[in-house]
Structure 1
């Protein structure tokens, strides 16, 4: 029991600090709104008739309160090491510092994107650069690049396969994907923060489940707690709990009708936080499972993201001021402009009834923009913005439930869990 209390002490402190962070962020956001508007960091809600100025990039406030909390929290995990004669864990300390550094870089770069409106190629490059310190510390501290081979393939490849440098490529791509996947599933009030909160809560539940399983195993078989497992999942909780606190505060102001916009800063900040806990916590594959809706949205968007089909600057739903409802937005192009690959891909989409394809006798095509938001509107019909966001959040919850089914019952068929 004493061992358990020592393990839980920094988590308890983290929870208390996160509560203060929540209330501080709730009060801070309204106080700085006018500063952003005066700095010309504002926009207009395209899904409203009102043209009131709405401050943008308020995700930077959320990121800053998170970072302040983490800076103050740095000594807490090592409180036990300050005793006379106790050995200081330099590995854990360096991982904590570099994780905060990577997130700090992404908050800065995300705010730069909101201010300068960077091109897409930079949005792919910046998360890669920000993850380099994280990958370097991972290399020095553990350098674990082996993956467990599923049971059916073990006669061919053995129990483990060393991916070598390709594992680092995967982790770098994880940071890029987490950051941009949230960014492209956006456009209605509360969606960026709402989906991120569900992912963060899913990671927190996963951490608690894994630690609970280890504790029950130790009690049943009179074993010591698995120190490596506890270190990994405690590390994740140190970041996820304050993240949830700041995001909940931001959601209060970003939910319909939104009083603030979160900007790309929040998407960068969220994506790097998830990548950090997945990489250092050694559960990158599980982290990706919680992105099932984002993965589906990315795959659905591929024809437009890679310019096989014309992609407008904004793919937001189309607002109907008369009914105060949202309809699927569309892109218009000539069928003759599509290359062979684009025609084949869109033929698959049309055959699968994934798009609303209308073609006139002149070969001009009107097709809905390829996002899950427009897909939901295509089949659910016109919806009020609040109802649409709620439906998309429920899809995120369903994705989480599916992720847990894959991670536990189904994984046992392929791995020794």
Structure 2
């Protein structure tokens, strides 16, 4: 696939940006009329904001990609060479075509399922199951086209495991769980203006930079071109959404956008053959997941919403809290909170009646616990800054330390 295809893809992405910028404000009343709206609880006047705008962004992205479908095959360098030299008729790359269609099918499924979650408010077990099902087209294409389940070992582990290990079906389980993690990791690090879109933009920009670096080095050229074909329209549509979702938000993105973004990242990570590197760009989301584990798996009481508390007098955000009695927790729950308390990673207040009050276990509340009450715009900037720092760390691990951690990319 030629660089011409990337140029056309970038042009389509620019068009998608301007289309999205025009559509977002014009459809505001339509979303509110359909009762797809909510109150911004972190504002003094608690304005009504249209939500579930992720479905609009996902639709514009899909339209862009549908228009792009014939382009990479029309500009296939091998086909063009055959045609010009009068050699054998060019063979259509059916494997690449199916790869592209399967990727779009998985993304389309997650947009649909995300919108269903926004409308029907699905339970957590469904949020874990549905991304796994939506990943099946990807796994089937990977099985048919590649079926490589060999994992290269880090240099320091080769004395024990050898140069590589074939993990078989475990590799497919890993890729399925990667999709589940990506779709839900963005969703649980959310709740303040601009954070969902902001972190997605930084991850997408990180993947794009990584793709260009790999192309410059001549590594897995087709795989990284495939990734760019998805990342450029995603960046364009998300940037348009960011314009209206950043503080003070004019629209909310809903679970639809989180699912759409997560599956798009999973698609390029799996079919672009850089799933481990992709996880490096998700370091803040991984930390947030680990920190949230006691509540996510209900070892500690978890309220339905763990958003920070808003103080209308100071216009600042404070930690939100949960309360429990230690003797009501299971052994694992007591061990977790004791460990977090000893490491000073959570607030801790014991009441006379034996109840304990701690902050909710999210990265947002952790930042508020460390730095104290801050303005909503400020905490978004802090978390996005942390995301950028983690990207730089990921690139540092991927390149200067690559000879130590990974001999080659898998």
Q: Which secondary structure state, in structure 1, belongs to the residue aligned with residue 358 of structure 2?
A: strand
Are the counterparts in 1 of residues 106 and 137 from structure 2 also a CA contact under 8 Å? yes
The 5 A counterparts of 1:15-414 are 15-81=10-76, 83=80, 84=83, 85-214=89-218, 229-414=220-405
Distance, in Å, in 2 between the alignment partners of 1:115 and 1:29 is 19
Q: Which secondary structure state, in structure 2, belongs to the residue aligned with residue 258 of structure 1?
A: coil
Deviation digits for residues 75-115 of structure 1 (CA, Å, limit 9, x no counterpart): 11001357542221111111001000100010011001000
Residue number in structure 2 paired with 1:8: 3
Residue number in structure 2 paired with 1:220: none
Distance, in Å, in 2 between the alignment partners of 1:358 and 1:376 is 18
Deviation digits for residues 261-285 of structure 1 (CA, Å, limit 9, x no counterpart): 0000000000000000000000000
Shift of the alpha carbon at 1:297?
Answer: 0.3
Q: Which secondary structure state, in structure 2, belongs to the residue aligned with residue 409 of structure 1?
A: coil
Shift of the alpha carbon at 1:403?
Answer: 0.8
What number of residue pairs does the alignment pair up?
399
Shift of the alpha carbon at 1:154?
Answer: 2.1
Are the counterparts in 2 of residues 336 and 363 from structure 1 also a CA contact under 8 Å? no
Distance, in Å, in 2 between the alignment partners of 1:183 and 1:93 is 31
With 400-409 and 181-190 compared, the bigger mean Cα shift is at 400-409
Distance, in Å, in 2 between the alignment partners of 1:33 and 1:351 is 48
Distance, in Å, in 2 between the alignment partners of 1:414 and 1:179 is 27
Distance, in Å, in 2 between the alignment partners of 1:297 and 1:172 is 20
Distance, in Å, in 1 between the alignment partners of 2:161 and 2:295 is 38
Are the counterparts in 1 of residues 152 and 407 from structure 2 also a CA contact under 8 Å? no
With 75-84 and 382-391 compared, the bigger mean Cα shift is at 75-84
Distance, in Å, in 1 between the alignment partners of 2:390 and 2:158 is 29
With 357-366 and 293-302 compared, the bigger mean Cα shift is at 357-366
Query: What are structure 2's unaligned runs of at least 5 residues?
Result: 84-88
Deviation digits for residues 163-187 of structure 1 (CA, Å, limit 9, x no counterpart): 1111000000000000000000001
Distance, in Å, in 2 between the alignment partners of 1:358 and 1:114 is 35
Are the counterparts in 2 of residues 359 and 365 from structure 1 also a CA contact under 8 Å? yes
Q: Which secondary structure state, in structure 2, belongs to the residue aligned with residue 123 of structure 1?
A: helix
Shift of the alpha carbon at 1:43?
Answer: 0.3
Distance, in Å, in 1 between the alignment partners of 2:325 and 2:313 is 30
Shift of the alpha carbon at 1:33?
Answer: 1.1
Are the counterparts in 2 of residues 317 and 328 from structure 1 also a CA contact under 8 Å? yes
Q: Which secondary structure state, in structure 1, belongs to the residue aligned with residue 66 of structure 2?
A: helix
Q: TM-score by structure 2 length? A: 0.95
Deviation digits for residues 286-325 of structure 1 (CA, Å, limit 9, x no counterpart): 0011000000000000010011111000000000000000
Are the counterparts in 1 of residues 193 and 245 from structure 2 also a CA contact under 8 Å? yes
Q: Which secondary structure state, in structure 2, belongs to the residue aligned with residue 260 of structure 1?
A: coil
Query: What are structure 1's unaligned runs of at least 5 residues?
Result: 1-5, 215-225
Residue number in structure 1 paired with 2:86: none
Shift of the alpha carbon at 1:412?
Answer: 1.2
Q: Which secondary structure state, in structure 2, belongs to the residue aligned with residue 129 of structure 1?
A: helix
Shift of the alpha carbon at 1:12?
Answer: 0.3
Are the counterparts in 1 of residues 153 and 407 from structure 2 also a CA contact under 8 Å? no
